[in-house]
Structure 1
Amino acid sequence: MTVKFINAKEAASMIKDGTTVAIDAFISFCLADDILSEIETRFIEEGHPHSLSVVNVAGIGGDGKNRGINHFAHKGLMKRFLCSNLSLANKIYPLITENAFPCFMIPQGVLSHMMRAIASGKPGIITEVGMKTFVDPRIDGGCINDAAKACSDIPVQLISLNGSECLFYPAFPIDIAIIKGTKADNKGNISLEKEAMHLEQLEMATAARNSGGIVMVQVDEIVESGDLHPQMVTVPSTLVDYVILGSPENTGQHFIQGLPKPINSWCGDEKIQLEEIKTLPLTKEKVICRRGVFELKEDSFINLGIGLPMSVSNVLNEEGLIKKVSASIESGVMGGVPAPGIATGAAYNPDAILKQPDMFDFYDGGGIDFACLGSAEIDMHGNVNVSRFAGKVPGPGGFINITQGAKNICFMGTFTAGKSDIRIENGGIRIIKDGPHIKFKKNVDHITFSGENSLDKGRQNVLYITERAVFRLQPEGPVLIEIAPGANLQKDILDKMEFTPHISENLKLMDTRLFINKPMGIILK
């Protein structure tokens, strides 16, 4: 088929009611927002397309307001939604709560690999990823709302293989694939050279083509045939049906404002001096990140999760240690300094940009030496919840893949949640007003990390790090091993937990260097 060049409105008009639509992006990166916007406009004006089964691999909230999957926040537009993350999809939350459609979440790496499985005609994904978490059919089966629980089309099954239990995620056909590239030539070959990451554009396009579906690609620029070096072509024209030239406001590398320049360092076109990256002020969050660095070893292959853990890279940079480790992000980016906030997924001065499914191969196989991740809730069994809390359903993203494969894990977060006044001074901590919400629960509301599963493996070292206390996962649960100078064991720790933890016989003070406003001068092990 000859590739056709059309506009976004024409692309939206081709999507039929009841079809399965796969959308590729990572927050605001690689996001074909012109096409998604026109789908929304058409639905509002015509009531079509409706009853779509939508799947996206990573979170695609764009700016957290009116981009990405937020375009689909209309009753009737979706009849089923399968994803891994909704942290920036604020408009979708009410529809999930109201059971406007069944919503399922499974691990990001599984969805990434699913595109490859569909492309190659495999029956699905067989893996241990998700065992004993909310994804496990013995718990919630990935169901996020009551509509999902009432649905017979569950995206995961428990099976036995060679005498061992594992999970099977069945494959499904894709009718429409919506992806984004940087350039298209007149034949329809697609390059990604200005993108901050390479996701599963090729796999998703192949999956749709081999399902008998349609591939739509939004690009920033159209060039003459022969202008693209063949090694720059990621998606060949044989897999592309329609090319859409993006509008200036809905194309480019991202939609994020106020970040350090040059952002072209994200795709490797430019370099920034690492000294230009500002050091963090001395806060409780910095103390937490500093404590995590104490667990690092030189030459470690590491992953830093979204939110507070991302600042570990800033601490490493301040200490002159960033080049002593190899940082990675599940998006496929390796090396450099991970970008902050909703720019998560990119990195300044990356060493390499792999495809996302290839990175998850390495993660699932145990390639991560050290991972720092967030923690919204922790319970007496060592379980961690980051996927459903406080009325929100951000989902696991790559959290489950990362935590089930990493050798060493530091779960990071403040000891309590909510507005507080906690100061770092005089080589310790001073709690003037504590957060009102308890985070250490008897039982978490959603199991995103299973302490039981980790202990069964017997090969993981797991810490829970806060600004005032550090715990280590043991068979008896989280064991308190360190307390901050200035914190009172009973009043500031035990009284702020729903369960009484075991306390190490060798309980000690956290290193005073964590609480002093100058570089710690540490040397990696």
Structure 2
Amino acid sequence: MGHGKVVNVSDALSVIKDGDVVAISGFNLSTAPEYLILELFEQYKKTGHPNNLFIISDTLPAVADRGLDKVFGELYQDKDQKFIRGTLMPFIGWSPALMKMTLENRIEVYSFAIGTTSYWFREVASNRPGLLSKVGIGTFLDPRIDGGASNEIAKEKKTCKVDVLTINGEEWLLYQAPTPDVTLIRGTTADEDGNISMEEEGIYGTVLNMAQAAKALPNQGKVICQVKYVARKDTIPTREVIVPAPLIDYVVVAPDAEKYHKISGSYVYDPRLAGHVKAKKTKELEELLPAPNQIRDRIAAGRILIEVMKTAAKLKKPLFGNLGIGIPVYASWLAGELGLSNLLALTVEPGPIGGIALVGPDFGVAISPQAIIPMPDMFTNYEGGIIDFAALGFMEIDSKGNLNPSYSSTKVSGPGGFPVISSGSPRTFFAGGFTAGKFDIDAAKGKLIIKSDGNILKFNEKIVKIVFSGPQAVKAKKEILYVTERAVFGLNENGLILKEIAPGVDLEKDILAKMNFKPQIANKLETMPECLFHPSLDPLKEHIDDILEEAGLI
């Protein structure tokens, strides 16, 4: 059985019984106990046990063909699989097989927001009934719509559910799910007593709270931790212990870090990602930020950056914020190109603040962050409106300003962090192309040139799924902007209102004819800044410098 709590993998996993609720940490591969996940599945394949499991994660412990996606890839081929009966996963976009199983109604699938699920572990660990939040009112998370259920079997079974409560005349949502019988987490080093440190991890994620959730009354369960190393008793420095020994039942050493214990999708370990060294800024590092390959996307990103810098000028300080995937990421690239990065302290959902946030399978970690905090605490910054702004992508918008960032009839990726960030931030700037499909759009001499347009309309009277509620944002007096390469919309009590159009476009032909509803139009319709519509970035830099100089920020 090894030293103390350090045991072989089969002994540790033997505590998981048929029908158990199993919590598994992991934001993509960061903090994902991949060895435990794959060995648990191997045990099922050999013996048929444990079966009928319900899996809950703080995000999704997977990237393509790794972790849980590898498991679901095999389960999808087995029409009679009995391994997993259902999941609560805030994001399933990295697992095409799980998305297919969701659409085919093969298992129960629920998707609360990442911040909701992450903080839910903290709440149930405190023996509270669930998480009370305003996030999700008026969206698919609202029980009057889908209650976070991603398919019909989930709507019917309600293993995870959301209730509407009224407190002091205001509506709140109570998020509930079954508490874990067993939690699988990951750290870097365990001592022989079971104290866990995380020095070679890129995030802390939710591992401490997930361990606590399994240990809370009335259903005290087991916690198994995957590590790289075992240290002698009492040799991990006190302040480096993230999960103390009393919360740990078993420790399992991953036999191969490359195979089972990567800091992110592409890296086994990197001191810049773990916060051990601050890398010198180089052109090579800056090139890790995705640059737009379409001028259409650069225009929208530039308009977002102008709005962000106007906010910095108004508040007279550098901004604390979040840039989502899609066009908003290009705003970060633009800020670097224009020498404005020092005015932005940008966050990544699972915990890094500052640095260069990575994308794709490495999303979740950052090179040389100035700080790394636990994921529930990061989402407190979002839900509490502690950040100054958020810029997020969109797929569809309706006349009320409701928004769908990622769902289609064939894609159920889950909401990710979007509902918490968009509803909590005091200012949210959404960005996307005005249409979708094949297009040919250019800009020159301060004007937008639409040679051919996308044939898929994105401004629709009915959208596939409401993930952001326009009416709730108006009620909460949030500052909302919807930015595209040819039009900028605001939001008021009557819904979407057109405020700016690009120079060179025709209001009727290029905007209103490409919408499935007629928006309100501002009495004084402005022109988008001409500095956005040049091949060179120099006019944009001059425009932003003028804004900042007037505020005394440069």
Residues 1:364 and 1:438: Cα distance change in structure 2 (over 3 Å): same
User: Helix, strand or coil for the counterpart of 1:295?
Assistant: helix
Matched, 1:239 2:247: yes
Q: 1:205 aligns with which of 207, 211, 234?
A: 211
Alignment TM-score, normalising by the size of structure 1? 0.93
The superposition leaves residues 419-456 of structure 1 with CA deviations (integer Å, 9 ceiling, x where unpaired) of: 33333444433333322321111121111000011111
2:315 aligns with none
2:231 aligns with 223
Deviates more, 1:281-290 or 1:356-365: 281-290
2:71 aligns with 71
Q: Deviation at 1:12?
A: 4.0
1:316 aligns with 335
Distance 1:480 1:167 in 2: 32
Distance 1:303 1:31 in 2: 24
User: Helix, strand or coil for the counterpart of 1:140?
Assistant: coil
**What percentage of residue pairs aligned between the two structures are identical?**
36
1:513 aligns with 531
Matches within 5 A, 1:111-130: 111-130=117-136
Distance 2:533 2:440 in 1: 16
Q: Deviation at 1:387?
A: 4.7
Q: Which amino acid aligns with 1:49?
A: P
Distance 1:193 1:422 in 2: 47
Q: Which amino acid aligns with 1:328?
A: T
Q: Deviation at 1:337?
A: 2.8
The superposition leaves residues 20-42 of structure 1 with CA deviations (integer Å, 9 ceiling, x where unpaired) of: 00011111211111111122223
Structure 2 gap segments, 5+ residues each:
76-80, 313-317
Q: Which amino acid aligns with 1:227?
A: T
Distance 2:69 2:236 in 1: 31
| RMSD of aligned residue pairs (Cα, Å) | 2.3
Residues 1:226 and 1:382: Cα distance change in structure 2 (over 3 Å): same
Matches within 5 A, 1:87-106: 87-106=93-112
1:53 aligns with 54
Deviates more, 1:399-408 or 1:44-53: 44-53
The superposition leaves residues 317-343 of structure 1 with CA deviations (integer Å, 9 ceiling, x where unpaired) of: 112111112212221221223222332
Alignment TM-score, normalising by the size of structure 2? 0.89
2:505 aligns with 487
Q: 1:462 aligns with which of 477, 480, 498?
A: 480
Distance 1:382 1:187 in 2: 54
Q: 1:131 aligns with which of 109, 117, 137?
A: 137
Distance 2:119 2:348 in 1: 16
Question: Would the aligned equivalents of 2:28 and 2:59 in 1 still touch at CA under 8 Å?
Answer: yes
The superposition leaves residues 368-421 of structure 1 with CA deviations (integer Å, 9 ceiling, x where unpaired) of: 211011111111110001252141111111111111111111111111223333
2:17 aligns with 16
Matched, 1:360 2:379: yes
Q: Which amino acid aligns with 1:362?
A: N
Residues 1:496 and 1:250: Cα distance change in structure 2 (over 3 Å): same
Distance 1:310 1:262 in 2: 24
The superposition leaves residues 80-104 of structure 1 with CA deviations (integer Å, 9 ceiling, x where unpaired) of: 2112111211110111111112211
Q: Deviation at 1:254?
A: 3.2
Q: Deviation at 1:184?
A: 1.4
Question: Would the aligned equivalents of 2:29 and 2:263 in 1 still touch at CA under 8 Å?
Answer: yes
User: Helix, strand or coil for the counterpart of 1:157?
Assistant: strand
Distance 1:262 1:429 in 2: 45
Distance 1:3 1:107 in 2: 38
Question: Would the aligned equivalents of 1:60 and 1:86 in 2 still touch at CA under 8 Å?
Answer: no
Question: Would the aligned equivalents of 1:219 and 1:251 in 2 still touch at CA under 8 Å?
Answer: no
The superposition leaves residues 170-222 of structure 1 with CA deviations (integer Å, 9 ceiling, x where unpaired) of: 35321111111111122221111121111111111111122321111111222
Matched, 1:409 2:439: no
Deviates more, 1:72-81 or 1:132-141: 72-81
Question: Would the aligned equivalents of 1:383 and 1:451 in 2 still touch at CA under 8 Å?
Answer: yes
The superposition leaves residues 195-252 of structure 1 with CA deviations (integer Å, 9 ceiling, x where unpaired) of: 1111111111111122321111111222223332110110111111111212232344
Question: Would the aligned equivalents of 2:211 and 2:223 in 1 still touch at CA under 8 Å?
Answer: yes
Distance 1:319 1:112 in 2: 36
Q: Which amino acid aligns with 1:82?
A: L
2:78 aligns with none
User: Helix, strand or coil for the counterpart of 1:22?
Assistant: strand
Q: Deviation at 1:253?
A: 4.0
Q: Deviation at 1:66?
A: 3.5
1:290 aligns with 302
Matches within 5 A, 1:303-452: 303-452=322-471
Deviates more, 1:373-382 or 1:243-252: 243-252
The superposition leaves residues 120-163 of structure 1 with CA deviations (integer Å, 9 ceiling, x where unpaired) of: 21222222111111111111111111111212434211112222
User: Helix, strand or coil for the counterpart of 1:198?
Assistant: coil
Q: Deviation at 1:510?
A: 1.8
Distance 2:419 2:298 in 1: 25
Q: 1:267 aligns with which of 251, 269, 274?
A: 274
Q: Which amino acid aligns with 2:509?
A: K
Deviates more, 1:333-342 or 1:397-406: 333-342
Question: Would the aligned equivalents of 2:90 and 2:114 in 1 still touch at CA under 8 Å?
Answer: yes
Q: Which amino acid aligns with 2:533?
A: F
Question: Would the aligned equivalents of 1:59 and 1:86 in 2 still touch at CA under 8 Å?
Answer: yes
Distance 2:6 2:68 in 1: 22
User: Helix, strand or coil for the counterpart of 2:59?
Assistant: coil
Question: Would the aligned equivalents of 2:93 and 2:99 in 1 still touch at CA under 8 Å?
Answer: no
**How many residues were matched structurally?**
521
Residues 1:349 and 1:132: Cα distance change in structure 2 (over 3 Å): same
Question: Would the aligned equivalents of 1:472 and 1:480 in 2 still touch at CA under 8 Å?
Answer: yes
Q: Which amino acid aligns with 2:301?
A: C
Question: Would the aligned equivalents of 2:205 and 2:351 in 1 still touch at CA under 8 Å?
Answer: yes
Distance 1:9 1:432 in 2: 62
Distance 2:467 2:272 in 1: 33
Distance 1:275 1:291 in 2: 26
Question: Would the aligned equivalents of 2:448 and 2:503 in 1 still touch at CA under 8 Å?
Answer: yes
